């Protein structure tokens, strides 16, 4: 039996024996980014949120599912106005993701669910997903975890009505519930920050999201996390059945 649902926390014997015994039937691959998240959220948020949902979903299905090392740099060219953002070319990101899935296939795991936490990754992967399926020959699916949310849930839980909304109320609430140390309002002075946002629409949204983020609470975030975890675990359960 696996020692942990997180692949990297296991010694090789745990993974080998779980696969050979037929216990380990599926894997979740979290994808995210390392990019700006306004003045108050840590740059790892997208990766951390996708990983958090993936881990809790895998725990619900233990010992049948493992969570791989997350892809922590994504397609973030649109945020390169902000210093510190890291980005990959879409084709490079796609090839790295393919190789991760292929590694799992080569070890005998034929049900792979990619759980995404960064909107910029979605288009490039959806465009290649069918090609990946044909080349890999496995049961492969891709979803951003916020697909779990109905408009009714967002309306009820998010005063701003924005979800996901970059570093706005939703993502800030998620962080407050899951990893509050990633939220840092100390010395934030948005009006005097030296921002260089070249796109006027993004500049306007950035300011709006900054203010909306102050509506976030850990309680709101926990509700949204619980819904996403149940939704992802159900997706994975259906795949391994």
User: How many domains in the chain?
Assistant: 1
Q: Is residue 100 part of a domain?
A: yes
Q: Is residue 31 part of a domain?
A: yes
At residue 206, the pLDDT reads 95
What is the CA angle 70-76-78, rounded to 5? 165
Q: Is residue 2 part of a domain?
A: no
Q: Is residue 48 part of a domain?
A: yes
Q: Is residue 1 part of a domain?
A: no
At residue 136, the pLDDT reads 98
Q: Is residue 45 part of a domain?
A: yes
Q: Is residue 58 part of a domain?
A: yes
Preceding omega of 236 cis (within 30 degrees of 0): no
Q: Sign of torsion, CA 44 48 51 55? A: positive
C-alpha 168/C-alpha 215 separation (Å) is 9
Summarize pLDDT for 126-165 with one digit per residue, the tens.
999 999 999 999 999 999 999 999 999 999 999 999 999 9
Instruction: Name residue 33's beta-bridge partners.
Output: none
- Average pLDDT of the chain is 97
CATH number at residue 165: 3.40.50.10310
Q: State the residue range of the domain holding 135.
A: 7-240
Q: From residue 2, how far is each of 64, 98, 229, 231 by CA, in Å?
A: 9, 24, 20, 23
Radius of gyration of the chain from Cα atoms? 18
Preceding omega of 63 cis (within 30 degrees of 0): yes
At residue 111, the pLDDT reads 98
Q: Is residue 69 part of a domain?
A: yes
Q: Are 100 and 113 in contact (CB under 8 A)?
A: no
At residue 79, the pLDDT reads 96
Name the pLDDT band for 115 (thresholds 50, 70, 90). Answer: very high
**Mean pLDDT, rounded, for 103-107:** 98
Alpha helices in the chain (DSSP H): 12-20, 45-60, 90-106, 119-126, 129-136, 151-157, 169-178, 200-212, 218-240
pTM of the model: 0.97
C-alpha 40/C-alpha 54 separation (Å) is 24
Name the pLDDT band for 236 (thresholds 50, 70, 90). Answer: very high
Which residue in 81, 96, 234, 215 sits closest to 160, CA to CA?
Answer: 215
Summarize pLDDT for 158-193 with one digit per residue, the tens.
999 999 999 999 999 999 999 999 999 999 999 999
């Amino acid at each position: 039996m696996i020692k942990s649902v997180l692949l990297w926390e296991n010694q090789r014997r745990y993974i080998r024996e779980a696969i050979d015994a037929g216990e380990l039937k599926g894997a979740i691959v979290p994808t995210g980014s390392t990019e700006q998240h306004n003045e108050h959220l840590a740059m790892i948020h997208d990766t951390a949120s996708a990983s958090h949902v993936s881990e809790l979903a895998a725990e619900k299905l233990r010992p049948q599912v493992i969570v791989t090392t997350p892809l922590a740099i994504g397609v973030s060219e649109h945020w390169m106005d902000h210093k510190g953002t890291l980005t990959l070319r879409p084709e490079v990101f796609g090839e790295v993701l393919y190789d991760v899935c292929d590694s799992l296939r080569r070890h005998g795991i034929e049900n792979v669910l990619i759980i995404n936490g960064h909107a910029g990754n979605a288009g490039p992967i959806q465009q290649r997903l069918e090609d990946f399926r044909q080349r890999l020959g496995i049961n492969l699916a891709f979803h951003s975890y916020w697909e779990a949310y109905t408009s009714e849930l967002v309306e009820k839980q998010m005063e701003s009505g924005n979800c996901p909304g970059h570093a706005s109320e939703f993502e800030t609430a998620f962080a407050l519930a899951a990893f509050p140390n990633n939220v840092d309002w100390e010395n934030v002075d948005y009006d005097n920050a030296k921002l260089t946002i070249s796109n006027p629409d993004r500049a306007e949204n950035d300011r709006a999201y900054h203010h909306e983020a102050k509506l976030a609470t850990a309680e709101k975030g926990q509700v949204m996390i619980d819904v996403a975890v149940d939704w992802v675990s159900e997706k994975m359960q259906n795949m391994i059945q």
